């Protein structure tokens, strides 16, 4: 265990970012008066040890010390509290409260997108934190899911914003003189990308990107290089996903305005999001629905946005690309404050939070942790042993929330298997077949959107013109059943089993009365006719007539034979009659 100053002992790494490594650490003794939180011996804390490149830069050390009071006074239920700053030789460290839970980037990657309601409520809490810091004159400037830690309090999800001040440190002339990029490309506001003056509106833009990512699984702007992404922030309009309900889209669209003056203040954003969450919820009243539909009126901009002090100018997009000879980057992976030495694997889909297929995960925010270490295989949250069968309580809570919003599945039912229509049928012995599996889950995802088990059918989506909307309160509520949808997306067409060909109409039977033996009699008559015709042909066409020497026709000959046979029969009858009489006469 490595000591940090005289008061802390580093125990194990929790994760590594672009600016340093975060450690689980233990307090050795009570901190001095300069610390915001004195702490108790034995208490567990998190310590971010800044990279040597930062710690060895005198400009950064000076800034770090000047920022001390700002960082230590930022307290809010949704901000990870900085307890102490340690400057010792070449070591620069922030002592923070330890948050036992995953960061939002990792959570999204492992669990997929949130429902619109959950995303709105979670982002509202982040907006609360931003509003508090903006009031204090502090702009975060690097808002992204990796900087939101998910803390569990009493079974509830509690987002905690962290890394306040780090972007400010990174923005010191010692780093920016190299024209390197400060921020994370996928979340950077257009004015930051262009090097224009920045205000607290950059955080609102970041919140809009984060909100978009929460409901869709990925940020709105992506690309193969940082330059491409920055250009999209400057000129492209975000594409609206079909699963985002109107009121929520209004909020996202306002946050993502290119003009910072048109974005709402963080405070108004938080308020607006709560109104939206109520109005698109399952039990929304008509008043709440109406309020959500008018959310645009609540999203007034900040009349006096907090400026970013003496920002020396952010990235020049044309300067970003040369930093990475491959043109590849990981916009969601880390704040780009230092030369990219990382691998270019992020090029393919650097922002996806979804389980990657195949190659290395380009979105990893943490380096792979060896088995046995916290976060590594075989470890549960917070370093406790765990596994897939031992989900974090966060996950249970979210899953339950998603399950509650699950949409009734419409499935194709073969009319022959419809118990209401099926007629009794004669049982025919058939080989046993496995029970037919009803198609489950969503249809296969597009590559890059691979989060099949988490992408829940959304309750809210763009109203479909062909389905007239009915006010929610008019519909029957059925407890314990999936709720009818107010903004239901059209059900994805289920794969239809091949339809059976209609049977050809049955031939009418020639023996509708089913007289016994009639079929046999028919066969006999038919055989007699065939024999008669065949005999006639043989008689007329073969030399048989001459051999027998009669010269008669077929019919005459037959009549003769018939007469002869009946004569024989008559004779036989006569003989037996006379023979019987003589016997009787004897």
Ligand X SMILES: Nc1ncnc2c1ncn2[C@@H]1O[C@H](COP(=O)(O)OP(=O)(O)OP(=O)(O)O)[C@@H](O)[C@H]1O
Residues 208-247 that bind ligand X (CB under 6 A): none
Strand, helix or coil at 264? strand
Active site (annotated) includes residue 246: no
Nearer of residues 292 and 338 to ligand X, judged by Cβ: 338
Q: What is the CA radius of gyration of the chain?
A: 43
What residues pair up with 521 in beta bridges, in sequence order? none
Please state the closest distance from residue 222 (CB atom) to ligand X, in A: 18
Q: Which one of residues 71, 334, 398, 461 is an interface residue with ligand X (CB under 6 A)?
A: 334
Nearer of residues 149 and 252 to ligand X, judged by Cβ: 149
Does 17 interact with ligand X (rule: CB under 6 A)? Answer: yes
Please state the closest distance from residue 13 (CB atom) to ligand X, in A: 8
Residues 338-367 that bind ligand X (CB under 6 A): 365-366
CA-closest candidate to residue 190, choices 351, 199, 469: 199
Please state the closest distance from residue 214 (CB atom) to ligand X, in A: 17
Decide: 102 and 150 in contact? Cβ < 8 Å: yes
β-strands 148-153, 44-50 pairing: unpaired
3-state helix, strand, coil in the chain (%, to 5): 40, 10, 50
Residues 59-118 that bind ligand X (CB under 6 A): 80, 96-99, 103
Dihedral-angle region of residue 442 (phi above 0 means left; psi in -120 to 50 means alpha; beta otherwise): beta
Does 22 interact with ligand X (rule: CB under 6 A)? Answer: yes
Q: Which one of residues 5, 7, 8, 18 is an interface residue with ligand X (CB under 6 A)?
A: 18
Does 36 interact with ligand X (rule: CB under 6 A)? Answer: no
Please state the closest distance from residue 181 (CB atom) to ligand X, in A: 12
Please state the closest distance from residue 383 (CB atom) to ligand X, in A: 10
Nearer of residues 289 and 337 to ligand X, judged by Cβ: 337
Cα-Cα-Cα-Cα torsion 298, 74, 20, 226, nearest 10 degrees, comes to 20
Please state the closest distance from residue 230 (CB atom) to ligand X, in A: 17
Does 273 interact with ligand X (rule: CB under 6 A)? Answer: no
CA-closest candidate to residue 50, choices 14, 92, 80: 92
Nearer of residues 17 and 362 to ligand X, judged by Cβ: 17
**The length of the chain, given as a count of residues:** 586
Nearer of residues 317 and 382 to ligand X, judged by Cβ: 382
Give me 8's structure tokens. 């802390």
Residues 6+ positions from 111 with CB-CB distance below 8 Å: 395, 398, 451, 454
Does 186 interact with ligand X (rule: CB under 6 A)? Answer: no
For ligand X, how many residues bind (rule: CB under 6 A)? 26
Residues 364-393 that bind ligand X (CB under 6 A): 365-366
The residue sitting closest to ligand X, measured at its beta carbon, is 17
β-strands 44-50, 20-27 pairing: antiparallel
Does 46 interact with ligand X (rule: CB under 6 A)? Answer: yes
Stretch that binds ligand X, among 18-26, 195-203, 309-317, 507-515 (CB under 6 A): 18-26
Q: What is the DSSP letter of 307?
A: B
Nearer of residues 355 and 484 to ligand X, judged by Cβ: 355
Strand, helix or coil at 270? helix
Please state the closest distance from residue 18 (CB atom) to ligand X, in A: 4
Instruction: Tell me the angle at which helices 286-293 and 266-279 cross, rounded to the nearest 10 degrees.
Output: 140
Q: Residue 50 to residues 16, 20, 21, 94: CA-CA distances in angstroms? A: 10, 4, 7, 8
Please state the closest distance from residue 77 (CB atom) to ligand X, in A: 15
Q: Residue 396 to residues 115, 156, 213, 383: CA-CA distances in angstroms? A: 14, 10, 21, 18
Of 142, 163, 330, 349, the catalytic one is 142
Q: Which one of residues 27, 216, 225, 335 is an interface residue with ligand X (CB under 6 A)?
A: 335
**Interface map 142-181 toward ligand X (x if CB under 6 A):** x---xx-x------------xx------------------
The full 3-state SS of 195-228, as one line of letters, equals: CCCCECHHHHHHHHHHHHHHHHCCCCCCCCCHHH
β-strands 44-50, 82-88 pairing: unpaired
Residues recognised as catalytic: 142
> For binding to ligand X (CB under 6 A), which residues are involved?
14-20, 22, 46, 48, 80, 96-99, 103, 142, 146-147, 149, 162-163, 334-335, 365-366
């Amino acid at each position: 265990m490595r000591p940090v100053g005289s008061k802390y002992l580093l125990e194990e790494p929790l994760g590594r970012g672009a600016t340093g490594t975060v450690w689980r650490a233990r307090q050795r003794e009570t901190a001095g008066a300069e610390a915001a939180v004195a702490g108790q011996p034995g208490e567990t804390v998190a310590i971010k040890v800044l990279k040597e490149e930062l710690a060895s830069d005198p400009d950064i050390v000076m800034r770090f010390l000047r920022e001390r009071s700002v960082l230590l006074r930022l307290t809010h239920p949704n901000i990870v509290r900085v307890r102490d700053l340690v400057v010792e030789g070449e070591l620069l460290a922030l002592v923070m409260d330890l948050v036992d839970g995953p960061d939002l980037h990792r959570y999204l990657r492992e669990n997929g997108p949130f429902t619109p309601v959950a995303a709105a409520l979670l982002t509202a809490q982040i907006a609360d934190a931003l509003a508090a810091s903006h009031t204090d004159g502090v702009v975060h400037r690097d808002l992204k899911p990796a900087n939101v830690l998910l803390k569990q309090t009493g079974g509830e999800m509690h987002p905690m914003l962290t890394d306040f001040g780090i972007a400010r440190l990174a923005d010191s002339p010692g780093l920016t003189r190299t024209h390197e990029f400060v921020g994370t490309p996928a979340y950077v506001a257009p004015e930051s990308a262009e090097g224009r003056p920045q205000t607290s509106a950059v955080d609102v833009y970041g919140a809009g990107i984060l909100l978009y990512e929460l409901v869709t699984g990925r940020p709105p702007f992506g690309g193969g290089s940082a330059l491409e992404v920055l250009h999209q922030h400057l000129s492209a309009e975000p594409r609206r996903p079909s699963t985002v309900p109107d009121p929520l889209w209004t909020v996202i669209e306002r946050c993502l305005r290119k003009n910072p003056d048109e974005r709402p203040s963080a405070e108004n954003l938080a308020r607006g999001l709560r109104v939206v969450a109520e109005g698109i919820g399952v039990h929304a009243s008509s008043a709440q629905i109406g309020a959500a539909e008018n959310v645009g009126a609540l999203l007034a901009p900040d009349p006096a946005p907090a400026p970013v002090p003496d920002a020396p100018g952010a990235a020049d997009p044309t300067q970003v690309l040369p930093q990475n000879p491959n043109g590849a980057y990981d916009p969601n992976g880390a704040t780009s404050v230092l030369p990219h030495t990382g691998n270019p694997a992020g090029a393919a889909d650097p922002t996806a939070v979804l389980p990657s297929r195949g190659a290395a995960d380009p979105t990893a925010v943490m380096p792979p942790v060896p088995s046995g270490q916290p976060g590594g295989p075989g470890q549960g949250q917070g370093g406790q042993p765990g596994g897939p069968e031992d989900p974090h309580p966060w996950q249970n809570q979210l899953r339950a929330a998603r399950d509650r919003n699950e949409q009734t599945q419409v499935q194709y039912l073969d009319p022959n298997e419809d118990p209401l229509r099926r007629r009794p049928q004669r049982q025919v012995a058939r080989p046993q077949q496995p029970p037919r599996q009803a198609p489950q889950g969503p249809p296969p995802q597009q590559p890059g959107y691979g989060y099949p088990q988490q992408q829940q059918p959304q309750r809210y989506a763009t109203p479909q013109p062909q389905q007239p909307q009915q006010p929610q309160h008019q519909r029957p509520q059925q407890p314990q059943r999936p709720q009818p949808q107010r903004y239901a997306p059209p059900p994805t067409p289920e794969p239809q089993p091949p339809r059976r060909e209609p049977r050809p109409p049955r031939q009418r039977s020639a023996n509708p009365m089913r007289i016994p033996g009639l079929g046999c009699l028919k066969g006999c008559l038919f055989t007699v006719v065939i024999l008669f015709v065949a005999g006639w042909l043989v008689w007329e066409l073969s030399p048989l007539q001459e051999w027998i020497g009669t010269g008669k026709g077929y019919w005459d000959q037959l009549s003769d034979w018939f007469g002869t046979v009946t004569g024989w029969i008559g004779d036989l009858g006569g003989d037996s009659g006379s023979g019987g009489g003589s016997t009787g006469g004897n």
